Amino acid sequence: MEQFQGRDSTPRAGSIDKSRVLEIKPLRCLVPIFPSQPNFTSFNTPQGAAPFVCSSPSGPFPPGATSFFPFFGAPGSQGTSGHNPQTTPGQTPPFPFNTPVSDAVPITSFRASSPPRAGATSYHHSRAANGDTTSSGRVTRRSAKSQLQDGVAGEAGNGNAEGERTRFRKKGSMDPEVDDILTSFNIIEFNSARQNDGDKDSVEYVLLIFDLLRRKIAQIEDSKVSSPGVIKRPDLRAGTFLMTKNIRTNATKRMGSVPGVEVGDIFFFRFELCLVGLHSPSMAGIDYLRVNLQEEPVAVSVVSSGGYEDDVEDGNVLIYSGQGGNLNIDQKLERGNLALKNGLDRGNEVRVIRGVKDLASLGKVYVYDGLYKVEESWVEKGRSGCNVFKFKLIRLRGQPEAFTTWKLIQQWKDGISSRIGVILPDLTSGAESLPVSLVNEVDNEKGPEYFTYFSTIKYSKEANSADSSSGCACAGGCLPGNLNCYCIQKNGGYLPYVANGVVANAGQLIYECGPSCLCPPNCKNRVSQGGLKVRFEVFKTKDKGWGLRSWDPIRGGAYICEYAGEAIDNSKVEALHSDMDDYLFDATRSCPPILPSDSNEAPKLPFPLAISAKNIGNVARFMNHSCSPNVIWQPVLRTNNRESDLHVAFHAVRHIPPMTELTYDYGMVPPEEMGRQKKLCLCGSSKCRGFFH
- pLDDT, residue 337, reads 95
- pLDDT, residue 35, reads 47
pLDDT tens-digit map of 497-538: 998 999 998 888 999 999 999 999 999 999 999 999 999 999
- pLDDT, residue 468, reads 57
Band (pLDDT 50/70/90 cuts) for residue 50 is very low
Residue 655, CA distances (Å) to 270, 272, 593, 652, 687 in order:
14, 11, 17, 7, 19
What is the torsional sign of CA 322, 325, 331, 333?
Answer: negative
- pLDDT, residue 602, reads 62
Per mean pLDDT, which of 39-48, 145-154, 162-171 is the most reliable?
Answer: 162-171
In 69-199, where does DSSP find H-type helix?
141-154, 161-171, 176-184, 192-196
**Domain spans in the chain, listed from the N-terminal domain onward:** 175-223+231-252, 278-417, 428-461+469-673
pLDDT tens-digit map of 282-300: 889 999 998 777 789 999 9
Q: What CATH class does 428-461+469-673 carry?
A: mainly beta
What 3-state class would DSSP assign to 393? strand
In this chain, the answer to whether the domains covering 278-417 and 428-461+469-673 adopt an identical fold is: no
Would the pLDDT of 494 be above 90? yes
Band (pLDDT 50/70/90 cuts) for residue 613 is very high
- pLDDT, residue 181, reads 86
Cα(693)–Cα(677) distance, integer angstroms: 7
pLDDT tens-digit map of 103-116: 333 333 333 333 33
Whole-number average pLDDT of the chain = 77
Band (pLDDT 50/70/90 cuts) for residue 601 is low
- pLDDT, residue 591, reads 76
- Report the range of poorest mean pLDDT among 238-242, 269-273, 599-603: 599-603
Band (pLDDT 50/70/90 cuts) for residue 81 is very low
Would the pLDDT of 5 be above 50? no
Running DSSP on this structure, what letter comes out for residue 326?
Answer: B
- pLDDT, residue 369, reads 96
Q: Which residues of 417-445 are buried (b: 16+ CB within 10 A; e: fewer)?
A: eebeeeeeeebbeebbeebbbbbbeeeee
Is the CATH code 2.30.280.10 the one for domain 278-417?
yes
Q: What is the mean pLDDT of residues 466-483?
A: 84
- pLDDT, residue 617, reads 97
Would the pLDDT of 153 be above 60? no
Higher pLDDT, 115 or 432: 432
